[in-house]
Amino acid sequence: MAERKIRVLVAKPGLDGHDRGAKIVARALRDAGFEVIYTGLHQTPEQIVATAVQEDVDAIGLSVLSCDHNYLFGRVLELLKERGADDIALFGGGIIPQDDIQALKAIGVKELFTHGTSTQDIIRFVRDNIRATV
């Protein structure tokens, strides 16, 4: 029996309209053989989690360039837990200060990538740390 491909939801929460990085990451993950769903701009945490559950994803990758990263990552984790979907891994990237990276990892964010990270590093993280659930 063939193993199911890892499914990743790439989401752009909040009011930030800069989605070039999210699109580059989504394309790189797709080209690496993962199934990728891109939600588009201006998604609320509620919309992101609803889509993640509906699409039966294994991970969510948030792209956050605004100063709302603590709220947005925390709220997505909270909603995943409320929906009984806290087995969906959350990772992300953007403009996130080092002090906040440790705090976000402490609440359950699996990994955070800052500006200039190679897409190969993100692919390697997903390949090594995310498992397809059946």
Domain of 54, CATH number, reads 3.40.50.280
Structural domain including 15 reads: 7-129
pTM for the structure as a whole = 0.95
Whether residue 43 lies inside any domain: the answer is yes
β-bridge mates for residue 11, sequence order: 62
Q: How far apart are CA 63 and CA 14, in angstroms?
A: 10
Tell me the three-class secondary structure of 68-134, residue by residue: CHHHHHHHHHHHHHHCCCCCCEEEEEECCCHHHHHHHHHCCCCEEEECCCCHHHHHHHHHHHCCCCC
Q: pLDDT digit of tens for each residue in the chain (134 aa)?
A: 557 899 999 999 988 888 999 999 999 999 999 999 999 999 999 999 999 999 999 999 999 988 899 999 999 999 999 999 999 999 999 999 999 999 999 999 999 999 899 999 999 999 999 998 76
Q: Answer yes or no: is 134 within a domain.
A: no
pLDDT of residue 2: 57
Rounded Cα distance, 113 and 119, in Å: 10
The number of folded domains in the chain is 1
